[in-house]
């Protein structure tokens, strides 16, 4: 059976078309395989780099590694589609629109993720430190991707969104090794201020937990309605702050009372005037 020239041309064109599709298919498969391997390598590389980074939260490491891997895969899929002649500009635009839609839908969640990353990078607090942030108090247990878990002073569990902590003024009570302790002790107006200062200064100088530098002080803080308020001011190690505070209050009361000085109790004088004498 002989073929005429037109049929030969058709078969030749079909063969070229099939060969072209076969080449495109082979190239697409090669790109897909290489891209898959490259994506896995990128994820592992990011994971290794994060493992070598000090103070990097363990929750954040696999998330960032996965983001790197899937980012490479998206570009690989776009390259494969372009190999088959698909217009990738519309696909990229569609991906961008989808990303914007997801970002708007997960705005609060993304804020927490971004805040969590900033907390991990800038480290205003670390695990084990006691912090206060606009009424949120507790010891930090874990800095997660979305929330930070804390334990309150009375042992309660607290889960706080990262964005709330990041947007708050944070006071870290454990970041510095020392703290200043101020105690207010009131004495009666009839008592000697110098005697009280000498007794209270003896308490401070006799306690080994009170630091010599900066030097402890006993100052007149205020002349209130019922008492002369003296301020005991000293510096101590942060671990000694609360025990020293409680014990100094008790010791100050006992020392002042033993020397005849008094800690006044607020009193009010009430006069009863009979109704008939109001005009007098």
Task: Judge if 47 and 73 occupy the same domain.
Answer: yes
Instruction: Tell me, yes or no, whether 253 lies in a domain.
Output: yes
CA 277, CA 245: separation in Å to the nearest integer? Answer: 52
Task: Judge if 46 and 76 occupy the same domain.
Answer: yes
Instruction: Tell me, yes or no, whether 264 lies in a domain.
Output: no
Hey, what's the torsion of the CAs at 63, 66, 72, 74, to 10 degrees? -90
Per-residue model confidence as pLDDT tens digits over 154-168: 999 999 999 999 999
Instruction: Tell me, yes or no, whether 115 lies in a domain.
Output: no
Task: Judge if 44 and 88 occupy the same domain.
Answer: yes
pLDDT of residue 237: 95
Task: Judge if 11 and 100 occupy the same domain.
Answer: yes
Task: Judge if 78 and 19 occupy the same domain.
Answer: yes
Task: Judge if 238 and 182 occupy the same domain.
Answer: yes
Mean pLDDT of 224-253: 94
Percent above pLDDT 70 for the chain: 76
Instruction: Tell me, yes or no, whether 21 lies in a domain.
Output: yes
- Which CATH number covers residue 221? 3.30.70.100
What the block records as the tokens of 121 is 């990078």
How much is the mean pLDDT over the chain?
A: 81
User: Is the pLDDT assigned to residue 189 strictly greater than 80?
Assistant: yes
Instruction: Tell me, yes or no, whether 110 lies in a domain.
Output: no
Task: Judge if 101 and 24 occupy the same domain.
Answer: yes
Task: Judge if 162 and 233 occupy the same domain.
Answer: no
Instruction: Tell me, yes or no, whether 195 lies in a domain.
Output: yes
The pTM (predicted TM-score) of the whole model is 0.60
Per-residue model confidence as pLDDT tens digits over 42-98: 888 888 887 777 666 665 677 677 778 878 887 787 777 776 666 666 666 666 766
Total of domains in the chain: 3
User: Is the pLDDT assigned to residue 134 strictly greater than 90?
Assistant: no
Task: Judge if 99 and 11 occupy the same domain.
Answer: yes
pLDDT of residue 259: 92
pLDDT of residue 170: 93
Instruction: Tell me, yes or no, whether 201 lies in a domain.
Output: yes
Instruction: Tell me, yes or no, whether 271 lies in a domain.
Output: no
- Which CATH number covers residue 133? 2.30.30.60
Segments forming the whole domain that contains residue 210? 178-258
Task: Judge if 168 and 211 occupy the same domain.
Answer: no
Task: Judge if 203 and 239 occupy the same domain.
Answer: yes
CB count, 10 Å around CB of 252? 20
Task: Judge if 20 and 96 occupy the same domain.
Answer: yes
């Amino acid at each position: 059976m002989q073929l005429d020239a037109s049929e030969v041309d058709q078969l030749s064109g079909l063969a070229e078309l099939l060969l072209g599709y076969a080449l495109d298919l082979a190239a697409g498969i090669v790109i897909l395989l290489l891209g898959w391997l490259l994506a896995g390598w990128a994820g592992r590389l990011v994971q290794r780099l994060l493992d070598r980074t000090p103070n990097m939260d363990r929750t954040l490491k696999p998330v960032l590694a996965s983001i790197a891997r899937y980012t490479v895969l998206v570009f690989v899929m776009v390259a494969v589609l372009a190999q088959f002649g698909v217009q990738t500009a519309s696909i990229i635009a569609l991906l961008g629109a989808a990303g914007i839609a997801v970002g708007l839908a997960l705005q609060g969640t993304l804020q927490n993720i971004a805040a969590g990353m900033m907390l991990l990078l800038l480290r205003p607090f670390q695990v084990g430190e006691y912090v206060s942030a606009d009424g949120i108090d507790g010891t930090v247990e874990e800095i997660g991707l979305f929330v930070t878990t804390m334990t309150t002073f009375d042992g309660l569990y607290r889960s706080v969104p990262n964005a709330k902590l990041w947007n708050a003024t944070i006071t870290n009570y454990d970041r510095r090794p020392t703290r200043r302790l101020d105690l207010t002790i009131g004495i009666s107006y009839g008592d000697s201020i110098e005697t009280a200062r000498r007794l209270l200064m003896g308490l401070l100088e006799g306690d080994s937990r009170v630091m010599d530098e900066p030097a402890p002080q006993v100052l007149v803080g205020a002349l209130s309605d019922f008492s002369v308020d003296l301020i005991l001011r000293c510096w101590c190690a942060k671990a000694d702050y609360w025990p020293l505070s409680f014990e100094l209050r008790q010791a100050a009361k006992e020392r002042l009372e033993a020397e005849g000085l008094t800690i006044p109790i607020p009193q009010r004088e009430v006069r009863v005037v009979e109704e008939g004498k109001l005009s007098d």
